[in-house]
A and B are shown apart, each in its own frame.
Chain A
Amino acid sequence: MPNEVLALEKVNLRVDEGELVAIVGGNGAGKTTLLKHMNGLLKPVTGTVRVKGKPTTESSVAELSKQIGLVFQNSDHQLFSESVKEEVAFGLRNFGFPPSEVEERVARALNAFGLGQMSDRAPLTLSGGEKKRLCIALVTAWDPIVLALDEPTVGQDHLNKVRLLELVRRLIRDKRTVLIVSHDLEFLWPLQPRTVVMSGGRIVADGPAASIFTNFELLESSGLRQPQLARLAVALESPSPFRDVDEAVAWLREKNGPWSSGSQTAFGKG
């Protein structure tokens, strides 16, 4: 589906309901361009993009956005209302929900994302992490079949990333279809998603996290940094990818008994 300056080329991708898919690549790989094709912001020049079987060329952006909820990278590009609840209501009203339903959905979304206390506050006074949560909350309010997050962790501090991780886990538990576009592999690693790697406008790999993230050359050539635990798992030739710190610790302990905690080896660059 090339654009004016071949931003995407021969992309073949299929996402099924309830899947969690990570789309990774460096800046300029075409990830955001791909996302914009999903809700019709961009229409394919050649090839087709179909949502639930229907080509996107047959619907407007508004119609498609109702089904495909995009959360853009920069929250400051969206917030404008007088209150947090008005902000959530905005999208719902655009999509034609009746007033009574709007109120109910706003309350539900805010509470689900821990923003209930702030419903009367001005969105512009929220912290960076809160704004990001609000942007995700307002998209879930209209229950799109797919939730697509564009670089949700950029500019967020560690605590907010931990919260975001929890948030994504909950979305998965709620059986939503979630797409995450990101170059932050450390963030994605614990989720162990199906991972699609993009580079130069093409899809260069598509597979489970365990095989993609352990492939150093693939990641490097696509402008990405391998997560430390994956690198560790490969270097130590562990049969299991270390999905989290505890898994790594457990394996290391099991493999070689008690560790010399009084070890005199001063290693590392102090």
Chain B
Amino acid sequence: MAKAIYEGLKFRYKTTVIHRLDPRVKMLLSIVLFALALLGFNFYQEIITFVLVAVPATLAKSLKRLMRVVALSITFGVFVVAINLLAGGTVVESIVLAVRFLEIVASTSLFFVTTSPDELEYVLRWFRMPRDFVFAFATSIRFVPVLLMDLTQIIDAQKSRGLELDRGGPIKRIRNLVPVLIPLIVNSLVRSGELAEAMESRGYGAVKKPTSMDVLRLKINDWAALSLIIPGGALLIWLYIYVI
């Protein structure tokens, strides 16, 4: 399941209409969908929201991927249904709740799947977040695959010393993680040290306002998309709250 979440948030390079939108527009789209998912609490609203999520997902040729993430989140969804039923809700209410949850997952996933980490970094900088924070965030994401590879190698090495990660009761299993976590943490610390040296050697902090190679600029597609999303979103939100 963890792998599914990772896959659901991982950017894939494609050139669909959605992918090519300015990342700020994509973010707005996801936020609107997210809001609709949160606000909807009856059957009709859910159907509308579902369609609204599915359309961009299809345009982004990522419908299958999103479906998979959603499907795997269904276990959690079932959990939600069960709790709600126990708390005295009706079946319909429970299902609606579960569907809401899945839509929240899907709308978030939509953003991350269509937005490259680079673009994400640009968006955060546009929001005037402190450069150090954005850099730290971006670098952590960049090193996720490296960390995963380290983890696999560490696990292989420790298994070769007789460590069995899939045996024993819960306490034993947690204790068995120590030989895996310690090398991972130590290696990461060493890595941070090396990164710090490299940063310093390439002039990090030379200037208070570093520039960037690309500049975010809204193009025609973006304005077209915004002309749909902003009024459409506002209308739907109003409808959800007051009408349907």
B187 at the A interface (CB under 8 A) = yes
Please tell me if B153 contacts chain A, counting CB pairs below 8 Å: yes
Tell me whether A62 and B187 are in contact in the complex, defined as CB-CB below 8 angstroms, given that A74-B153, A80-B182 are known contacts.
Answer: no
B2 located at the interface, meaning its Cβ lies under 8 Å from any Cβ of chain A in the complex: no
B162 within 8 A of A: yes
Tell whether, in the assembled complex, residue B156 and residue A72 are in contact, meaning their CB atoms are under 8 Å apart.
Answer: yes
Within 8 Å of chain B (Cβ to Cβ): is A222? no
- Report whether B161 and A138 are in contact in the complex, using a CB–CB cutoff of 8 Å: yes
A44-70 residues with Cβ-Cβ distance < 8 A to B are 60-62, 65-66, 69-70
Most buried by A among B157, B163, B164, B190: B157
Among B154, B156, B158, B161, max chain A CB count under 10 A is at: B161
Identify whether the interface residues of B are mostly helix, strand, loop, or mixed.
Answer: helix
In this complex, the member of B150, B162, B164, B179 whose beta carbon has the largest number of chain A beta carbons within 10 angstroms is: B162
Chain A residues with CB under 8 Å of B154's CB are 77-78
- Count of residues in B whose CB is under 8 Å from the partner chain: 19
* Distance between Cα atoms of A60 and B167 in the complex (Å): 12
CB distance from A131 to the nearest CB of B (A): 12
Point out the residue from A66, A76, A90 that lies within 8 Å of B183, measured CB to CB. A76
Alpha-carbon distance between A239 and B154 when the two chains are bound, in angstroms:
46
* B182 with A77: CB separation less than 8 A: no
In the bound complex, do residue A36 and residue B156 qualify as a contact, i.e. CB atoms below 8 Å apart? yes
Is A265 on the interface with B (CB-CB < 8 A)?
no
Q: Tally A residues with Cβ within 8 Å of B.
A: 24
A residues less than 8 Å from B182 (CB atoms): 80
Residues on B with beta carbons closer than 8 Å to the beta carbon of A139? 161
Residue pair A77, B157 in contact (C-beta under 8 Å): yes
A95–B187 Cα distance when bound, in Å, is 26
Interface positions, chain A 83-101, Cβ under 8 Å from B, are 90-91, 94-95
Q: Mark B155-188, 1 if CB is under 8 A from A, else 0.
A: 0111111111000000000000011001100110
| Known A76-B190, A77-B187, A78-B183: A95·B157 in contact at CB below 8 Å | no
Interface membership of chain A positions 2-34, coded 1 if the CB is closer than 8 angstroms to chain B and 0 otherwise: 000000000000000000000000000000000
Cα(A39)–Cα(B158), bound, Å: 12
Residue of B nearest to A95 (CB): B162
Residues in A neighbouring B164, C-beta threshold 8 A: 60, 62, 94
Name A41's contact: one of B156, B178, B187 (CB within 8 Å).
Answer: B156
Residue of B whose beta carbon sits closest to that of A93? B162
B39-58 contacts to A, CB under 8 A, are none
A66 to B162, CA, bound (A): 7
List chain B residues, Cβ under 8 A from A138: 161
CA distance A78 to B179 in the complex (A): 7
Contact B161 A90 (CB under 8 A): yes
- Nearest B residue to A41, CB-CB: B156
A210 at the interface (CB under 8 A from B): no
Asked whether A72 lies within 8 Å of B153 as measured between CB atoms, the reply is yes
**Chain A residues with CB below 8 A from B156, complex form:** 36, 41, 72
Q: Please give me the 7 A-B residue pairs with the lowest Cβ-Cβ distance, nearest first.
A: A94-B162, A80-B182, A91-B161, A70-B160, A72-B157, A77-B154, A65-B160
Given contacts A76-B187, A94-B161, list 13 more A-B pairs with CB under 8 A: A62-B162, A62-B163, A66-B162, A70-B157, A72-B157, A77-B150, A77-B153, A77-B154, A77-B183, A78-B161, A78-B183, A80-B178, A124-B186
Give me 26 A-to-B residue pairs in the complex whose CB atoms sit less than 8 angstroms apart, sorted by A's number.
A41-B160, A60-B164, A62-B163, A65-B160, A65-B162, A66-B162, A69-B160, A72-B153, A72-B157, A72-B160, A76-B186, A77-B153, A77-B187, A78-B154, A78-B157, A78-B158, A78-B183, A80-B183, A90-B161, A90-B179, A91-B162, A94-B161, A94-B163, A94-B164, A138-B161, A139-B161
